[in-house]
Amino acid sequence: MNLQNTKKCLYYGEEVLSIAKKYKQLIFFFSCIVIFSSCSSSNTDFVKDSVLADFDRSISIGDALDNYKYFTSSEWDEFTTSQGREIVEFKGYYFKNNVVVKIQFRMNKDLQEDADGASFIINYQGYIYTTENGEQREKKDNSLIREIYNNREITWLSSENLLKY
């Protein structure tokens, strides 16, 4: 390397350092955003990655619900009630009768385990359907998650009698 090239390298190196010094705070700020956003986790992710000890510890809630073979699609949402309770809601679209299965998980405020070792509880299980008359109905049903975890068809949701009531 000759003297001319060495001077150019030194000049460009000083230029880069000068620019870095000018934008040091901006670079630090964006670095913090990237680091903190990659570390944060939503309540939905927390629930999806958890297991239900009462049913099956070998599969996460997210895998059990999202891969249930009788749902044509599914979606997750989270919201806060008017009383400040944080809820994670799952909706699975059942393959027959335009039925939507809804399961809600109520989070413990600090995600700390309670006396039973849980950071959330199943707050609601039910389904929404439309009758032959066009009325939309919702019915609570605490047996849904057991059928989903066992990957069995929920026969009463497939019944044509469902739409009559």
Arithmetic mean of pLDDT over the chain: 78
N-terminal to C-terminal alpha carbon distance within the chain:
88
Percent of the chain with pLDDT over 90: 45
The DSSP 8-state label assigned to residue 47 in this structure reads H
pLDDT at 121 exceeding the cut of 70 = yes
Structure confidence at residue 39 as a pLDDT band (50, 70, 90): very low
Answer yes or no: is pLDDT of 108 > 60.
Answer: yes
pLDDT band, residue 35 (cuts 50/70/90): very low
For residue 105, what pLDDT is reported? Answer: 94
Give the pTM.
0.70
Burial of 69 (0-12, 13-18, 19+ CB in 10 A): exposed
Query: What pLDDT is recorded for position 133?
Result: 82
112, 140, 160, 61: CA torsion to nearest 10? 0
* Phi, psi values for residue 131, rounded to 5°: -75, 170
Dihedral through CA 124, CA 128, CA 71, CA 148, nearest 10?
40
Helix, strand and coil percent figures for the chain, each rounded to 5:
40, 25, 35
